Structure 1
Amino acid sequence: MTIADEVAPNVFRASGTDVNVVILRDGDALTLIDGGYPGDVSAVEYAINSLGRSPEDVQGMLLTHAHIDHMGAIVSFHERYRTPVFTDPTEVAHARRDYLEQAKGKDFIPMLHKHGVLPWLLRIARVGATRSLSIDDAQAFGSSGPLDLPGAPVPVATHGHTSGHSAYHLPQHGVVITGDALVTAHALSKVDGPQLLPQVFDHGKQDTVAALDHLAVLNAETIVPGHGPVVSMHISAAVEQARGRSR
């Protein structure tokens, strides 16, 4: 268990199993962005408790995208407390599981001999990677500007990793929460620093690379990725590095 790490005023990053979650605080009210694997729910609860708050203080929850490693605590809190869940309008159907854009176990069979694959698969299997999760009443956020949620996050369309992937910008703090549109490490990657995830995870690499344009124009010097450590560098420089590594 880890406590929530404050990366900017009232912006906290906590760790699940090889994945990050973000908590925004405004007084006693919270917004949760992503939720780790199903087995990470207790870790997310612990992080919230470390702020002197409880899951009932979460006023709304945001998904960057509806992959299993980002849905765990989101689904749990929604079922227990009826906390509303919001995501990009395109991603709503994915969260409801009208379709599934996610790598399956068979996709990794040809990769079992590669760097980190088998230990990672065993690790995530223990925290529910093979479970089926959905959010039947996920809602589309309806604003192109700051959302009416604690922390006032601004959605940034970064479609590609999934058809409706969204990053979230906190312009008042110079922070961008990139989800899986740009990461800084992964168990299957041999390099550290800004990069795209291995292609096996992507719905469409061409769109994923193009989505970096929407990040590069933001005013942000703190990057909170879906996977890997928080980094302090301008997002445009991080995008340049990720583009170079994707070629």
Structure 2
Amino acid sequence: MEIAPNVHWLETGSSNVYLIIDTPNIVLIDTGTPRQQDKILGKLRQLGHQPADLTHILVTHADIDHVGSLAALYKATGAQIMAGADSARLISQGKSPKHMPIIAQWIIDTFMKYGAVPQDKISVLKDGETLPFLSGLQVLATPGHTLDHFSFFGPATGILFAGDAIDTRNGRINLTRPSITADKTAARRSAIRLLELSPAIIAAGHGTPSSSHTSDEIMQLFNTLRQE
């Protein structure tokens, strides 16, 4: 589904991924759970492009439901992977960050590893830099849900790729659940930073992308988070 000109939303079952067609660049944000590569590459072909046309893969964080198909897509496309330093380290080990309740985290650490990508194949993102996509895509460190989390904002389009820093499940804008958040204080600060941008479209990692929210809704959540 096209959520803005040349920006496509693809639901992979557990999480969302986004394709940006910005010729000569084609950019994928996150990769979903393991074994989603055929679905993602199929969408790329549907849009008239081949796997080798994918130039970049941006990573919001190293949870298995966001980078599970990263290694397979890298092998199929040779795209440049870009992630924060902590995410890059985790990806090189095929490990998810620690942020779940104890038993769930043990299960993930023990049984739910994903395909690794060598760390030297990953370009490290830095907070505050601007990438040459969508007329300038801002890189924003947004720790909280996980400590390695990054989001991306395009001022020219008003699109916020929020990862799991903001949730749009059930048509509501909110934080990701506290029970699966590594640092609740940092999560609030990160969400406030994102809400201050007044995004026109919130393309989150989970839930339907939000484009019908009002400035009042943004301000209400912003004020609630500030008071907390």
Same fold (TM over 0.5): yes
Q: Work out whether 1:22 is the aligned partner of 2:6.
A: no
Q: Offset of 1:130 from its aligned partner?
A: 2.5
Candidates 86, 107, 112, aligned match of 2:104: 107
State how far apart, in whole Å, the 1-side matches of 2:42 and 2:215 are. 30
Candidates 42, 53, 56, aligned match of 1:60: 56
AA matched with 1:156: L
Secondary structure of 1:39's aligned partner: coil
Q: Work out whether 1:74 is the aligned partner of 2:70.
A: yes
Residues 117-164 of structure 1 deviation map (CA, whole Å, 9 limit, x = unaligned): xxxxxxxxxxxx934333322221257332135764211111111112
State the match for 1:220 in structure 2. 199
Please, which runs of 5 or more residues in structure 1 have no aligned partner? 110-128, 186-190
State how far apart, in whole Å, the 2-side matches of 1:181 and 1:226 are. 8
Residues 81-116 of structure 1 deviation map (CA, whole Å, 9 limit, x = unaligned): 33221112343223333883253793389xxxxxxx
1:162–1:152 distance in 2 versus 1, CA, 3 Å: same
Q: Residues 61-210 of structure 1: matches in 2 within 5 Å?
A: 61-97=57-93, 100-103=97-100, 106-107=103-104, 130-137=112-119, 138-142=122-126, 144-149=128-133, 152-185=136-169, 192-210=171-189
Q: Offset of 1:204 from its aligned partner?
A: 1.4
Q: Offset of 1:209 from its aligned partner?
A: 1.3
1:236–1:183 distance in 2 versus 1, CA, 3 Å: farther
Secondary structure of 1:144's aligned partner: coil
Secondary structure of 1:92's aligned partner: helix
Please, which runs of 5 or more residues in structure 2 have no aligned partner? none
Relative contact order, CA 8 A, sep 6+: which one is greater?
Answer: 1
State the match for 1:43 in structure 2. 39
AA matched with 2:2: E
1:156–1:143 distance in 2 versus 1, CA, 3 Å: closer
Number of residue equivalences: 219
AA matched with 2:104: D
Secondary structure of 1:22's aligned partner: strand
> Percent sequence identity over matched residues?
21
RMSD (Å) for aligned C-alpha atoms: 3.0
